């Protein structure tokens, strides 16, 4: 997966997010953890972690509708137990990446492209290159926005001073 996750603890569940320490480690560890270790919502030791939509929503601080929206967009594909959606540790990790990508200002289309590259390229070489391009574009855009914001702020401060001076001149 791409590096949208930080190397800290998941504040919603208190679980150590060591599987996200590095880009390469995150991909292998997430698969290994999903296959071998229990987590909240799991069915027991030795079985993959399974979550209901409400459990996952609560843990990630989003609504069930948000999760279903990402499913409709093809970003996650939960398993089904009858008519009930069942989410794996991998789905949870993908959702965390989606949410981090959105928080960093990437579009859902861009996030989907990064996730799709992960599935296509097991070496993540193409994904890393695309991520670097995307990050650089986002940084450039944010720097441009900051410059525009600073200019607008300065203009507003100048206007404020002019209005303040005009008001003082008229009150004498």
∠ CA 132-138-141, rounded to 5°:
140
- CA–CA gap between residue 112 and residue 115 (Å, rounded): 5
- CA–CA gap between residue 5 and residue 22 (Å, rounded): 9
Res 172: pLDDT: 66
Q: Smallest Cα–Cα separation from 5: which of 18, 14, 13, 74? A: 18
Task: Check if the beta carbon of residue 41 is closer than 8 Å to that of residue 51.
Answer: yes
Q: Smallest Cα–Cα separation from 71: which of 49, 50, 86? A: 86
The domain ranges of the chain are 18-124
Strand partners, 84: 81
Q: Smallest Cα–Cα separation from 66: which of 13, 27, 108, 115? A: 108
CATH fold for domain 18-124: Multidrug-efflux Transporter Regulator; Chain: A; Domain 2 (1.10.1660)
Q: Name the pTM for this structure.
A: 0.63
Res 99: pLDDT: 96
- CA–CA gap between residue 113 and residue 110 (Å, rounded): 5
CA 132 to chain centre: 16
Res 136: pLDDT: 96
Q: What is the pLDDT along the chain (172 residues), one digit of tens a residue?
A: 444 433 333 433 333 333 233 322 333 333 333 333 344 444 444 456 899 999 999 999 999 999 999 999 999 999 998 888 899 999 999 999 999 999 999 999 999 988 888 778 778 888 888 889 999 999 999 999 999 999 999 999 999 999 999 999 998 6
């Amino acid at each position: 997966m791409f590096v949208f996750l930080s190397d800290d603890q998941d504040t919603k569940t208190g679980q150590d997010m060591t599987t996200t320490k590095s880009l390469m480690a995150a991909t292998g560890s997430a698969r290994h953890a999903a296959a071998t270790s229990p987590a909240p919502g799991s069915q027991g030791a030795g079985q993959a972690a399974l979550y209901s939509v409400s459990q996952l929503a609560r843990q990630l601080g989003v609504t069930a509708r948000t999760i279903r929206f990402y499913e409709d967009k093809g970003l996650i594909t939960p398993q089904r137990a009858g008519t009930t959606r069942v989410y794996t540790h991998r789905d949870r990790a993908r959702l965390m990446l989606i949410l981090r990508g959105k928080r960093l200002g990437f579009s859902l289309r861009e996030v989907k492209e990064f996730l799709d590259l992960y599935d296509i390229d097991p070496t993540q070489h193409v994904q890393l290159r695309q991520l670097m391009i995307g990050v650089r574009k986002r940084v450039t855009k944010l720097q441009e926005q900051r410059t525009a914001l600073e200019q607008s702020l300065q203009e507003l401060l100048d206007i404020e001073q002019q209005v303040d001076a005009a008001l003082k001149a008229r009150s004498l």
